[in-house]
Amino acid sequence: MKRLVSIFSAIAALAMIAACEPKIVTVDIQVQLMFEGAPFAQEGIPVVLADDSGVISYEVETDAAGISTFTVLPGSYIASATYKVAVDGKRVAYNGSNNAILVAAPVEEPFKLELAKVESRQLVIKELYFGGCPKNEGTGAYSNDGYVIIYNNSDLEADATDLVFSFMPPYNGHATNKYIKEDGSRLYDNENWIPAAGAIWSFTSAVTIPAYSQVVVALFGAIDHTATATASVNLANPEYFWMSNSNVPQYSNAKYAVSELVPVEHYLTCYPINTGNAWVLSNNSPAFFIGNMSKAENERLSNDTANFDLTGGTTNVGWAAKFPKASVIGAVEVFAAANIDKSNARFTSDINTGYVAITNQKGYTVYRNVDKEATEALPENEGLLVYNYAGGTDDINGTTDPSGIDAEASIANGAHIIYSQTNDSGKDFHQRKVASLK
């Protein structure tokens, strides 16, 4: 009898302890998809809600009104959604995010998630290699071997003659960003321009890219870098292009080097916006973009100080050119994997949402994901696609191509690849452990 009483006493004690513990209170919230200020009433669109640390995420499909309902703990969240559809033969993606969802108490009104319409473009950034690779001996990294690959994501020849290349300040995503206001918005959010730093590079001759083909542009040295670092890449190729300092006397840095194999017609040029002896692209977290701009407009924009933005500083060390948003055709936002919590997006949501993380100095690259549905739909690809892609990384913030298609192996097999275009770097790119040019 005493034992029975003691058991009841223990149960009662546990009940009292449980009663004294604070209860976990969840909150029901809704996220309403919007487009051009009106509800986007489409059923079955997955909406992802993630806490701002990126540890916890939920996914709920929309109902017929375009609303997803979540039950979450109080905290700060980021909502994002992508909806793809074919319209008049073009691939269209509706994509957006809301980075300001604060849940502290029951919320009666849905949080709004504004979507932007993204139509497929011919030219895309396929790969950006900028972080350097291990040296043969000692510590540190070799980092003069950067390159970018531009890909024709269509079945028609593309004219790339007026293609330009640049990046946004600050150089690193986790650096102090003078463009961010107290309310978290950017000074240029509602403007028709974004700041272009350093210089705006352009081709010096006519350039065309055949369907489902690419051009490689060396950022600093168009040489065989494997002679210095075996983990690097060989950019001494007559088919490649080079961001040349031959007509830019200010750029006297020794990292500018070119192989005699690269023809002069493949040299790019620029008009430096800032002082310095080199174009300084971040080796861990650039906000890189491409655009369409005539040679005359590029020269005017890069030299007209009346059109410069001086937010980065009153001297020309921090000046930026006001690059028209309408001329931007592609972008990739990169955050350093070790500094994500300190990083801020530099692109506006109408150009890019989300980011791709990378760990630099390991030879990793930022590589665009395959649009699985569109690629598999090409009749000429039957029997040519290679699956079980294993080129992604599995270390800190490691990512891979969710399509599972090995793009490079498939291309070598004769397949045509269509890459993802959602204007969300987190959905369009992954961290690749070996450069595709290796």
> Which of 387, 411, 427 is CA-nearest to residue 153?
411
pLDDT in tens, 292-340: 999 999 999 999 999 899 998 777 888 999 999 999 999 999 999 999 9
Cβ atoms of 385 and 371 closer than 8 Å? no
The model carries a pTM of 0.84
Query: What letters, b where the CB count within 10 A reaches 16 and e where it falls short, cover 84-112?
Result: beeeeeebebbbbbbeebebeeeeeebbb
- Both tokens of residue 249? 């006397």
pLDDT in tens, 22-53: 566 899 999 999 999 999 999 999 999 998 77
- pLDDT for residue 89: 58
The domain ranges of the chain are 27-119, 123-432
Helix ranges restricted to H, 294-436: 295-303, 372-376, 407-412, 425-428
Cβ neighbour number for residue 215 with a 10 Å cutoff = 22
User: How many CA atoms within 13 Å lie on the side-chain side of 431?
Assistant: 24
Peptide linkage before 110 cis (omega within 30 of 0): no
Cβ atoms of 116 and 127 closer than 8 Å? no
pLDDT in tens, 398-413: 999 999 999 999 999 9
Reply yes or no on whether the pLDDT at 225 is more than 70: yes
Cβ atoms of 435 and 129 closer than 8 Å? yes
Question: Domain 27-119 is of which CATH architecture?
Answer: Sandwich (2.60)
Q: Which residues pair with 111 in a beta bridge?
A: 31
Reply yes or no on whether the pLDDT at 58 is more than 70: yes
Q: What is the DSSP letter of 370?
A: B
Reply yes or no on whether the pLDDT at 379 is more than 70: yes
- Both tokens of residue 257? 């080097």
pLDDT in tens, 145-199: 999 999 999 999 999 999 999 999 999 999 999 999 999 899 999 999 999 999 9
